Amino acid sequence: MSSALDSNARAAMEPPWDAPVREAAESPLHVDVDGFEGPLDLLLHLARHQRVDLSRISIVALADQYLAFVDRARLVRLELAADYLVMAAWLAYLKSRLLIPQPAKGEEPTGEEMAAQLAFRLKRLEAMRDAATRLVNRNRLGRDVFARGAPDELVVEKRSEFQASLYDLLTAYASQRQRQSVTAVTIASRRVWSLSDARTILTRMIGEMADWTALDAFLLRYLSRPEDRASAMASSFAATLELVREGRLEVRQDVAFAPIYMRRSTPAADAHGADEPSFGKG
Amino acid sequence: MAEIYALGNIGPSGAAAEASLREAMRIVEAIVFASAEPVPESLLAARLPADVSVRLVLDGLAARYAGCGVNLTRVGDCWAFRTAPDLSFLVHDEKHEVRKLSRAALEVLAIIAYHQPVTRAEIEDIRGVTTSKGTLDVLLESGWVRMRGRRRTPGRPVTYGTTLAFLDHFGLEELGDLPGVEELKGAGLLSPRIPAGFTVPVPFADDELAEDEEPFTDNDLEDLGLLAPKGGEE
Amino acid sequence: MAEIYALGNIGPSGAAAEASLREAMRIVEAIVFASAEPVPESLLAARLPADVSVRLVLDGLAARYAGCGVNLTRVGDCWAFRTAPDLSFLVHDEKHEVRKLSRAALEVLAIIAYHQPVTRAEIEDIRGVTTSKGTLDVLLESGWVRMRGRRRTPGRPVTYGTTLAFLDHFGLEELGDLPGVEELKGAGLLSPRIPAGFTVPVPFADDELAEDEEPFTDNDLEDLGLLAPKGGEE
C-alpha cells in the first residue's frame, strides 16, 4: 500500500515521469490520443485498467491518472483538444471536492455525487460498447442469414408508384441549397478555445453540472497557454451567458471576483423522454 | 402435412375449417415466400377469409418450418422467410456485401437502438464526444436509422430511432429482443439521468487504493499507448 | 417432418442415415431458397456429403413442398422454388418497376416541401436552373405535390405545396417535423461550414391559404386543365 501512496503523492506534486523534457520536444510525441474518442473514452480505458468493476472504481485514482496524462501532454507541448482540457478542469475540481471536506451547505453537490455521476457515465458508455459488440455479432441478414434470392413481386402489395425515402429527399435538398449558397467562406484559423468550442463543450457538460459548480478556476489552469487565458475566459463566459439566455444554464456569483458557479437549469417543462407521438411505423 | 392437425381443436366435424386453414397456410406461405422483404401481417390478413386467424396460420407455418433449412421469422409486425443461421457457411451472397460500419458508427447505432427516441445531443452526452459529420449520415443512408420526430423541448430537436430494416438485418423480432436490454434497463443504464440507487464507494480521503486495486505502473500506461516505451536512457 | 420416412426404406437401424438425409435436405433447401437463379443439381451435389444421393434429397424436398403454397420445381437440370401455379395470381409474372424520382424531381419536391407555398419562378430562383414542365408534372402525378392557389402578385402565379400523401409516404406527422438547419448539419447532410446567414425555412404548414394567396377560380381550373371547359349550354 505504501507504494501506492508514494506514487499518488508523487503524481500530485510533480510529473511522475522522468523523461527529459528537452529531448521530448525533439523525439516523436510520447503522448498519443489518436486512438481515443474524446476524454470519456480515455477515462474508460484508464478505468478498465484499474481492473475492478466500474461501480467500485476509485475515482480519485482515475482523476489522478487523467490529470497526470494531461500534464504530461502539456509538458511535451502537445496541443490537446479543448474538451480534454475541460475534462481535466472538471476532474481537478472533482478531486478537490472529494479530498477537501466541504461544509454541508446543501447548495453544491457533494464530491460523492459528482463521482457517482462520472462513474454512471463511464458505466453507461461501457454498456453501449458491449451492446454494439453483441449487436454486430448477431446473425446478420446478408452475412449469416439470407432472404429469398429470386423474389417475385406481390400483386397484393400496395406501393406508391414512385419511390423515395426521407433521406433521399433531405439529401437532395441539403446538397442543392448548399450548391447555391455563396461558397466564398473563409475558414477562421482554429483557436484552442473558440466561442463555438466553448459552447459545444459546455453544452455537453451541462449534464454533469446538476448542481452549482465552480468551473472557472479550473478552466483557467487547464484551458490554454497563459497568453490565451483572457480569450479563453471570455469565450467560455460568453458561451455560458448564451446558454443562460436559452434557459439551459444558471449562473451565480456571490460577490465581485468570487468564483462563478453554474448549473444546469431544471425548468418544470424539462421533460426528458416526452416525445411527440412518433410518426411512421416500424 | 400432419402438423396442421395440431393447430387447433379440429375434430372430424371441422373438416371444412381444416381445409380452410390449410388453404390459408398455402396463401400466406406463397406470399411471404415470394417477397424478399418482410411482409406486413396486416397485408396477409387482408388476403385471408375473415374467419381465419392470421396469427394462427403464421404460428402453424412457423412451427412447420422450425427445423428446416429455411425459417419463418417475425420482424416487428412483419414476417419473412430467412435461411437458418446455422447454414450460413453454405450460402454466400456475393451481390450484397454487408457494409462494415466504423466503430464510432456502430456505437452510435447501438445508442440509438437502446435509447430511442434519442436526440443527437443525448447521443453526444453518452459518448462524450461530438458526433462526427457523416456518422449519422451513414446510418441514415444504411436505412437502419430514421428520424422519428421531434422532442417536445426547447429547440424541438429531431429524435432518432431504428427502422424495420434494422430489426430485419440483426435478426430481431422486436426492440425488446435487443441483447441485454432488460438488464440494462434494470440497471438504469438506459436512462439519461443517474438512477437513484447508483452509488460509488466513498473514496478514501487519503487517496489510498482499495484492497483489490493496484496502482498504475508506467508499464500500464505504455500498454495503453499513453506513453511511448521508455528509451534506453534509464 | 414425418415425410422423411417416406423417402426410402429407412428402418430403425438407419437412424444415422436419416439424420444425414434430413441435414442434406436443410442444406439444399437453404441454397435453392437463397439463390437468385435456378441452382444446378451438380452444384447441390457438390455441397452434400459424398454418401448422400442428391436426387433422393431433391425428390424428398419436392414431395414435402408438393401440397404447399410454394413448390420445388425442376428447370432443366436446375432446381428452383416457384409459387404454386394455382396461387400465381398472388404474384406478378414480370417485374413491374417502381419508378424512382429523378434527382431534379427530388430537389424540386424538397424545395416545395420546405418553401411552400412556392411558385415555379421561386423554385427556379432557389435552384438556379430552369425547372422543366415535366418535373412538376411528375410530382403532381405522384400525388405528393398539389397546386394550392395563386399568389397575389402580378401574373398571379400558381403556388405549389405538398399533400397528405406526401406526409404519409415520408413518415412525417406534420411539415414542422422536417429537420431544420441544425439537424441537417447534425446529420451530416449540410456542411458545418455553411455561411452563417444560411437558413432553412419553417414550412408553412397550414392548409388554409397564406395571406398573399388566393384560391383558384373556375376559369383558372379550366386554364390549368383541372376542370373540363364549360360547355356552351350554360
Give the closest of B77, B126, B231 to A128, CB-based. Answer: B126
What one-letter code names the amino acid at C76?
A: G
**Does A51 score more than 60 pLDDT?**
yes
Is the confidence at residue A268, as pLDDT, over 60? no
Is C17 inside any structural domain? Answer: yes
| Distance between C186 CA and the closest CA of chain A, angstroms | 12
Give pLDDT tens digits for B125-156: 899 888 877 889 999 999 999 998 888 888 78
Whole-prediction pTM: 0.74
Q: State the nearest Cα–Cα gap between C48 and chain A, in angstroms.
A: 19
Residue C29 lies in a domain: yes
Inside any domain, residue C218: yes
Which comes out higher in pLDDT, residue B213 or C154?
C154
In sequence order, which residues have a C-beta less than 8 Å from that of residue C118 and are 6 or more positions away?
C111, C112, C159, C160, C161
Tell me, yes or no, whether C230 lies in a domain.
no
Range from A253-262, B154-163, B185-194 that averages highest in pLDDT: B154-163
Which residues in chain C have their CB less than 8 angstroms from residue B134's CB?
Answer: 188
In whole angstroms, what is the distance from residue B108 CA to residue C200 CA? 26
For the segment A151-187, what is each residue's pLDDT rounded down to a tens digit? 877 665 545 567 788 888 888 888 888 887 755 444 4
Name which of A134, A147, A38 is nearest B83 in CA terms.
A147
Shared domain check, B73 and B167: no
The span from the CA of A230 to the CA of A166, in Å, is 46
pLDDT, average across residues B175-202: 81
Decide which of C51, C86, C121 is a domain's last residue: C86
DSSP 8-class letter at B171: T
How much is the pLDDT for C62? Answer: 95
Nearest to A164 among C90, C106, C114 (CB): C106
Q: Are residues C13 and C63 in the same domain?
A: yes
The letter for the amino acid at A22 is R
**Looking at the structure, do residues B107 and B77 belong to the same domain, yes or no?**
no
Q: How confident is the model at residue B6 (pLDDT cuts 50, 70, 90)?
A: very low
- Strand order across the A213-214 sheet: A213-214, A261-264, A249-252
CA distance B74 to B33: 13
**If you ran DSSP here, which 8-state letter would residue C91 be given?**
B
**What is the pLDDT at residue B207?**
42
Whether C19 and C125 map to the same domain: the answer is: no
- Give the number of beta-carbon pairs within 8 Å between B and C: 107
Asked if B67's CB is within 8 angstroms of C30's CB, the reply is no
Cα torsion angle, A241, A247, A253, A256, sign: positive
Residue C26 covered by a domain: yes
Contact residues for B183 (Cβ-Cβ < 8 A; gap 6+): none
- Taking a C-beta distance cutoff of 8 angstroms, is the pair A206, A200 a contact? no
pLDDT of residue B213 exceeding 50, the answer is: no
Among candidates A60, A151, A167 on the partner chain, residue whose Cβ is nearest the Cβ of B36: A151
Please work out, in degrees rounded to the nearest 5, the angle formed at the alpha carbon of residue C126 by the alpha carbons of C125 and C128: 65
pLDDT reported for residue A250: 80
Q: Which of C55, C86, C117 is the last residue of a domain?
A: C86
Question: Which of C18, C25, C27, C33 should we substitute to test contact with B (largest number of B Cβ atoms within 10 Å)?
Answer: C33
Instruction: Indicate whether C118 and C201 sit together in one domain.
Output: yes
The reply to whether residue B200 touches residue A145, judged by beta carbons under 8 angstroms, is: no
Cell 388554409 found at:
C208
Q: Yes or no: say if C145 and C162 are a contact pair by the CB < 8 Å rule.
A: yes
For C142, the domain range is 103-223
Q: How many domains does chain B have?
A: 2
Residues C195 and C149 placed together within one structural domain of the fold = yes
Top mean pLDDT of A153-167, A244-258, B90-104 is at: A244-258
Burial bucket for residue B109 (CB in 10 Å: 0-12, 13-18, 19+): buried
Q: Which CATH number does the domain housing residue B149 bear?
A: 1.10.10.10
Q: ipTM score of the complex?
A: 0.74
pLDDT (mean) for A233-237: 73
Would residue B97 count as lying in a domain? no
Segment C134-157 shows an average pLDDT of 90
Residue B231 lies in a domain: no
- What's the start-to-end Cα distance of chain C, in Å? 76
Tell whether C94 is covered by a domain.
no
Q: Is the dihedral of CA A116, A122, A126, A127 positive or negative?
A: positive
Q: Identify whether residues C64 and C113 lie together within a single domain.
A: no
